Amino acid sequence: MTQAPDSSASNALNAVEDNVQGVVEQGRTAVTELLAWIAEDTQSVTLALAITLAVTITALLIKWGVSFARQRMDESSLARVMLGTAERLSAMTFLIIGAAIGLSATSSPQSVLDAIWYVLGLVLIIQVAAILRGLAVDLVQRRALQRADSRSAVWNGIAIIKWAISTFIWSAAFLVLLDNAGVDITALIAGLGIGGIAIGLAAQGLFSDLFAGISILFDKPFKRNDLIEFGECLGTVSKIGLKTTRLRSLSGEEIVIRNTNLLDMTIRNFQRLEERRWLFQIGVTYQTAADQLEQIPDWIKTIIDETDQARFERAHFCRFADSAMEFEIVCHAQSLDYAVYMDVRHAVNLALVRKFADEGVEFAYPTRTLMLARDDGSVVAPAATLQTQERGDQ
């Protein structure tokens, strides 16, 4: 038969109460026997106290030495992060460990020894949780700051991760403490799991945006002031938040997009261009002589080489089009600035117009030649037909 929830909770509280009462009784017994042992065996008490102080002082000296060596290391080094564990060891932990060693080395009462080991177990649970939490946070922060332009750029993301790590580790430590207190934590873990699933489903969109924002902050597909394009949007990144990213479009309005939606798209980051590539075609008429066709690539190369912040790559006579013989040209504007890129195109195009005019080469444009035929199938030249028509009009 299944127990009601109220009955299970009542049984758990009764188990905790019984355990606490047992611990209190053992504590009273340990204190009574400790006082009696101090009065009867001063030599053993003095030895235990000396061992306790020696262990504590030695541990503190080692901790201070490690801390001094850590301060001389590079802030972003992994060794510095690992040695930070020593700074989280408290003097109380050293004192209890020293007491446990001192009491074990002497003829102390068994109840006193059991009590100090019980306390040491509780202290170590808390101490290990604090060490793991600090180590995990330091590792995340070290990696984040290595990839960030400034500490402020990842502060919000680190704060969220700190909260998540702290919640997980301290919850686990609390469950272990409850287990030591005699509480059956199986039902509690199951309840927490079901509650976590319910909360996750209810806030699925929020959490997905938060993790997407953290991914952007750490992975750095773009940063503030970068010019990016996604979908049909093009703009400069003005703010990267944990839920949304804001862009200032070229036309001036602000674009706000959820981080999850943003990462689902293909993002083009123009800020990381080393130079802008420009591929274009020009066409000349079919009346252009072969010698001039052969010289055109050299003319284009010379023009591009003489243009400021332009780099020539290639120029080829690529195909016979319907109304032109086409050349394909590739060059590069050696600047990230879009205005400079357009200045290069302007200068090259203008120089090409002037050069072709000087050489007597005509640019082609879409044309169509209409041929007339007589009844016998012979072709009539358009010019002859026009002259005949003019004589008839006269």
- DSSP E strand boundaries for 90-200: none
Which residues touch 251 (CB under 8 Å, ≥6 apart)?
none
How far are the Cα atoms of 68, 108, 129 from residue 136, in angstroms, in the given order?
22, 40, 11
- Where are the domains positioned within the chain? 5-202, 221-272, 273-394
Structure tokens at 186: 């199986």
Q: How confident is the model over 46-68, as a mean pLDDT? A: 87
Q: Is 60 exceeded by the pLDDT of residue 3?
A: no
pLDDT digits (tens, 9 = 90+) for 183-232: 666 655 665 666 566 655 555 556 677 777 777 776 778 888 888 888 88
Of the listed ranges 94-103, 172-181, 379-388, the least confidently predicted one is 379-388
Structure tokens at 226: 């970068």
List the beta bridge partners of residue 108. none
Under 8 Å between Cβ of 44 and 107: yes
Query: Which residue has 């919640």 as its token pair?
Result: 167
Pick the CATH number of 221-272 from 2.30.30.60, 3.20.20.70, 3.50.50.60, 1.20.1050.10: 2.30.30.60
Under 8 Å between Cβ of 56 and 66: no
| CATH architecture of the domain with residue range 273-394 | 2-Layer Sandwich (3.30)
Q: What is the mean pLDDT of the chain?
A: 78
* pLDDT given for residue 127 in this prediction: 87
Q: Is 60 exceeded by the pLDDT of residue 242?
A: yes
* pLDDT given for residue 335 in this prediction: 83
CA–CA separation, 62 and 71 (whole Å):
14
DSSP notation for 146-163: HH-SSHHHHHHHHHHHHH
pLDDT digits (tens, 9 = 90+) for 221-238: 888 888 888 888 888 888
Q: Is the dihedral of CA 227, 233, 237, 243 positive or negative?
A: negative
* pLDDT given for residue 147 in this prediction: 53
How far are the Cα atoms of 28, 40, 50, 103, 258 from residue 33, in angstroms, in the given order?
9, 10, 20, 13, 66
* pLDDT given for residue 328 in this prediction: 96
* pLDDT given for residue 347 in this prediction: 95
DSSP notation for 266-318: -EEEGGG-SSEEEEEEEEE-TTS-HHHHHHHHHHHHHHHHTSTTEEEEEEEEE
pLDDT digits (tens, 9 = 90+) for 310-354: 999 999 999 999 889 999 999 999 887 778 889 999 999 999 999
* pLDDT given for residue 66 in this prediction: 82
CA–CA separation, 363 and 325 (whole Å):
9
Which residues touch 3 (CB under 8 Å, ≥6 apart)?
11
List the beta bridge partners of residue 200. none
Q: Is 90 exceeded by the pLDDT of residue 98?
A: no
* pLDDT given for residue 188 in this prediction: 59
Q: How confident is the model over 158-162, as a mean pLDDT? A: 68
* pLDDT given for residue 304 in this prediction: 94
* pLDDT given for residue 284 in this prediction: 95
Strand order in the sheet with 227-230: 254-258, 244-249, 233-240, 227-230, 267-269
* pLDDT given for residue 311 in this prediction: 92
Interhelix angle 110-147/151-180, nearest 10 degrees: 160
Q: Is 90 exceeded by the pLDDT of residue 265?
A: no
Q: Is 60 exceeded by the pLDDT of residue 158?
A: yes
Q: Is 60 exceeded by the pLDDT of residue 150?
A: no
